[in-house]
Chains A and B, each alone.
Chain A
Amino acid sequence: MPGANRLRWLGWVALLAVAVPAPLVLGELQLFTASRIVIFGLWALSLNLLLGQTGLVSFAHAAFFGIGAYAVGLVWLHLGWSAVIGVPFSLAAGGTIAFLMGLVALRAVHLYFSMLTLAISQLLFVLAFTAYDFTLGDNGIHGIELPPFLADTSQVYWFVVAVAGFGVLALGIVWRSPFGAALQAIRDNRLRASFIGLHVRRYELAAFTVAGMFAALAGSLFAIVNRSAYPGLLDWTQGAVPIFIILLGGMFRFYGPLVGAIAYVLLEEVVTRETLYSNLVLGAIFLAIVLIAPTGITGIVERVVGRLARRPSPGLTSLPEPLAETLAGEFEPSTRDVET
C-alpha cells in the first residue's frame, strides 16, 4: 500500500524533526521528560520484539533494564572508566545474561516460561540487592560522573536520542527482516512454524537475546540521565511499565510502543501531579484499555482512518501488513491459510 508507506515515512521524519531540535525550545524539566519518553520507548520496543512479534510473555524485562543501568554504574565505580563506556558494554552484558536466561527459561513454554523468567529475574534482583561489595546493595550507585561532553542537559538529551535512535533503527531492521517474519510465524502458530522447518526454540532464544540487549541499552541511558543505578530497577513489577506502554500504543505495529511511550510518560506526569492516588487512576485507565481497546492508540487511529478510507479495519488478531507481505514472499505454500 504505497499511501500507507508514504504516511509511515512522513511519521518517522516528523518524529525526528520534533525530537532532535527539542532542547532549543524545551526547559530543563521538560527535556528530562523527553528523555524519559525516548528511553521508555526503546525499552518498550525491545520488549515488543518478544510480546508482539514472537508472542512470548517475559517477566524479566525490568531485570535487563536494570542490568544496563548497572553496566554504566559498575564500569564507572569499579574500573574508573568513563560512564559512557558502560553504554556499549550494556549491549554485551544484557545479551549475555539474556542468552543464558533464555537457555534455561525456554525449556518451558507459555505460562511456565513466564514464571521461569520471573524466578530468574527476581534472583538477579536479590543479587543486586544483597551483593554489597559489588553493587553497593540496596543503597544503589548514585552520583555517577559524566564526561565533559555530556556537561549540560541538552547534550545528555542529544546523546540519549542518538543512542536510542541507533537502537530503534536496529530493532526496526530486525522487525522487518526474514528473521522477524519467522518470529511472527512462531507467534501465530508455534506448531505450524516448526512444521515448515523453523527451529522454534533457537529463534525464540535469539529473539530473547536481542530483546535483552536493547532493554539493557535503554537501561544504560536511564543511568546516564539519572546518574544512578539501584536494585529497584530490576524488580519484576517495574516490568509492567513497558507492557503498559506497548498496550497503550498497540503491539502489532513496529512504531506502536513509541506512540505508547509518549502517551504513557505524559499521562503519568499529569496523573501524579494532579492526584495523590495515581495508581487508582492509571489502573482504571489501563483496565479500560484492556477491556475496550486492546489494539491501543495505533489500533484506534487505524480503525478510524480505515473506516474513512472504506477498507476493513485490522483487528487484534489480524496480521500486520509487513508480516503478510513477507510471508507471501517467503513461506507462501504453507501459511496461505493462516487462521487467526
Chain B
Amino acid sequence: MGIDDLVIQFLAGLTRAGLLFIVAAGLSLVFGAMRVINLAHGSMFMVGAFVASSVVAVAGGEYGLLPALAVSAVAAAALGLAIEVGVLRRLYGREHLLQLLATFAIVLIVSDLVRLIWGEENLSVTRPAALAGSVDVLGSPFPSYNLFIIGLALAVGGCLWLLINRTGLGRDIRAAIVDPQMLGGVGVNVTRLFSGVFVLGSGLAGMAGAVAAGSGAVGLGMDMDILIQAFAVTIIGGLGSIPGALVGAGIIGLLDAFGILFVPRLALSLIFLAMAIVLAVRPSGLFGLPERA
C-alpha cells in the first residue's frame, strides 16, 4: 500500500464526511434550537433521494441531477413544514418523549408512502455528464463527483456560518440554542423561528439525499442508515453546534474509510465505539453545551 492509496482513501473519507456534514448540520440545528430529536430526519434524506431519481428520469441524465438538488431540497422542506406545523407544534412544552415518538411514527408513515409511490426496487441515478468522469490524483483515478460532494459540503458549511454568525435570523437561532424562553420574552416570534429552523434542516437533508442518489443506489432503508450515522456525527460534535457537526463528520467519514482499509472486521463498530468513547469522556460532545436542566 503506497502513499497514493492512503491519499485516495483519505479523499474517500472526506467525501463521506461531506455528505454526513450536510445531513448532520440540519439535525444538529433542529436539536439545538428546538430540543427535538428528529428521528424523521433520515426520512427527509430518503425522500430527497427518491425525488431526485424522478427528476433525473424526467429531465434526463445529462444534467438532471443538478436541478434535482434544488427540487429535492424544496420537496423535503415542504414535508418538513407540514410535519412541524401539523405535528410538532402541538407538542412543544410537552414531554420530549412524545416529540420523539411522534417523529418515529412519521418515520413509519413516510417509509410506507415512499414504498407506495416509488415501489420496492432499488433505483440508480445517472450522474451529470460533467461530473461522471474522474480526475487524476497522484496517478490514481478519483471520481470527480466525489470532489463535487466535498466542494458542496464546504459551500453549505460556509453559507451556514454566514447565516448563523452574520444575519439577524442567525442571531435568533443562536439565542434559541441558549434559551428559547428568554428569546420569546424579548419579543421574537419563536414559533415562526422554529418552523424556519425545521424547514431549513429538512431542506438540507433532502438536498443531501439527492447528492447521495448520485453516488449509490436509492432504496428503502436508507432513512435509518443515514439517521444513525448522522446521530453519531452530531453527538460526537455536540448537539446544536455546526463546527461540531463539521469535526464530527470528519471523524466519522475518515474512521469509515480507514476502518475498512485496516480493520475490516471492526469497521462497522468503529462509529459506535467512537460515539461511546467521546460521550463517556465528554458527556455533551466535543463542542456541545451541557444539557439544559
Nearest CB in chain B: distance from A331 CB, A: 21
> Can you report 25 residue pairs joining A to B where beta carbons are below 8 Å apart?
A104-B276, A104-B280, A108-B284, A110-B96, A111-B96, A111-B239, A112-B285, A112-B291, A115-B275, A116-B280, A119-B275, A119-B279, A126-B268, A127-B269, A130-B266, A237-B224, A247-B101, A277-B116, A280-B113, A283-B112, A284-B109, A286-B108, A287-B106, A291-B90, A316-B94
Nearest CB in chain A: distance from B232 CB, A: 7
Q: Name the contact of B269 in the complex, choosing from A114, A123, A236, A284 (C-beta under 8 A).
A: A123
Complex contact A57–B112 (CB within 8 A): no
Q: Name the contact of A290 in the complex, choosing from B102, B266, B268 (C-beta under 8 A).
A: B102
- 1/0 per residue, CB under 8 A from A, across B250-293: the answer is 00000000000000011011001101100110011100000101
Residues of A within 8 A of B235 (CB): 112, 115, 119
Residues of A within 8 A of B285 (CB): 112
Nearest CB in chain A: distance from B107 CB, A: 7
Q: Tell whether A290 pairs with B283 under 8 Å between CB atoms, given A111-B291, A123-B273, A284-B105.
A: no
B115 at the interface (CB under 8 A from A): yes
Q: How far is the CA of A260 from the CA of B112 in the complex (A)?
A: 24
In the complex, which residues 210-249 of chain A have their Cβ closer than 8 Å to any Cβ of chain B? Answer: 236-237, 240, 243-244, 247
- 1/0 per residue, CB under 8 A from B, across A241-263: the answer is 00110010000000000000000
Residues of A within 8 A of B90 (CB): 291
Q: Name the contact of A243 in the complex, choosing from B101, B239, B266 (C-beta under 8 A).
A: B101
Residues of B within 8 A of A129 (CB): 268
Q: Tell whether A107 pairs with B280 under 8 Å between CB atoms, given A119-B272, A277-B115.
A: yes
Complex contact A287–B268 (CB within 8 A): no
Q: How far is the CA of A282 from the CA of B109 in the complex (A)?
A: 8
Complex contact B105–A290 (CB within 8 A): yes
Complex contact A277–B112 (CB within 8 A): yes
A13 at the interface (CB under 8 A from B): no
B44 at the interface (CB under 8 A from A): no
Query: Count the A residues whose beta carbon is within 8 Å of the partner chain — how many?
Result: 41
A31 at the interface (CB under 8 A from B): no
- 1/0 per residue, CB under 8 A from A, across B128-150: the answer is 00000000000000000000000
- Tell me the dominant secondary structure on chain B's binding face: helix
Residues of A within 8 A of B272 (CB): 119-120, 122-123, 126
A51 at the interface (CB under 8 A from B): yes
Nearest CB in chain B: distance from A272 CB, A: 12
Q: How far is the CA of A244 from the CA of B109 in the complex (A)?
A: 15
Complex contact A112–B100 (CB within 8 A): no
Whose C-beta in chain B lies nearest to the C-beta of A119? B275
Q: A116-B276, A116-B280 are in contact. List 9 more A-B contacts (CB 8 A).
A: A51-B97, A112-B284, A119-B235, A120-B276, A122-B272, A123-B276, A280-B116, A283-B107, A287-B106
A191 at the interface (CB under 8 A from B): yes
Q: Name the contact of A108 in the complex, choosing from B106, B108, B109, B283 (C-beta under 8 A).
A: B283
Complex contact B231–A282 (CB within 8 A): no
Nearest CB in chain A: distance from B187 CB, A: 28
Q: How far is the CA of A126 from the CA of B35 in the complex (A)?
A: 29
Q: How far is the CA of A126 from the CA of B232 in the complex (A)?
A: 15
Whose C-beta in chain A lies nearest to the C-beta of B99? A290
Q: Which 10 A-B pairs give the minimum distances between C-beta atoms?
A: A283-B108, A280-B112, A283-B109, A108-B283, A119-B275, A287-B105, A286-B105, A279-B108, A123-B272, A279-B112
Q: How far is the CA of A247 from the CA of B35 in the complex (A)?
A: 21
Q: How far is the CA of A131 from the CA of B275 in the complex (A)?
A: 21
Q: Name the contact of A115 in the complex, choosing from B87, B113, B231 (C-beta under 8 A).
A: B231
Whose C-beta in chain A lies nearest to the C-beta of B291? A110
Complex contact A191–B293 (CB within 8 A): yes
Nearest CB in chain B: distance from A299 CB, A: 13
In the complex, which residues 109-141 of chain A have their Cβ closer than 8 Å to any Cβ of chain B? Answer: 109-112, 114-116, 118-120, 122-123, 126-127, 129-130
Residues of A within 8 A of B94 (CB): 294, 316
Q: How far is the CA of A287 from the CA of B88 in the complex (A)?
A: 11
In the complex, which residues 78-133 of chain B have their Cβ closer than 8 Å to any Cβ of chain A? Answer: 87, 90-91, 94-98, 100-102, 104-109, 111-113, 115-116
B182 at the interface (CB under 8 A from A): no
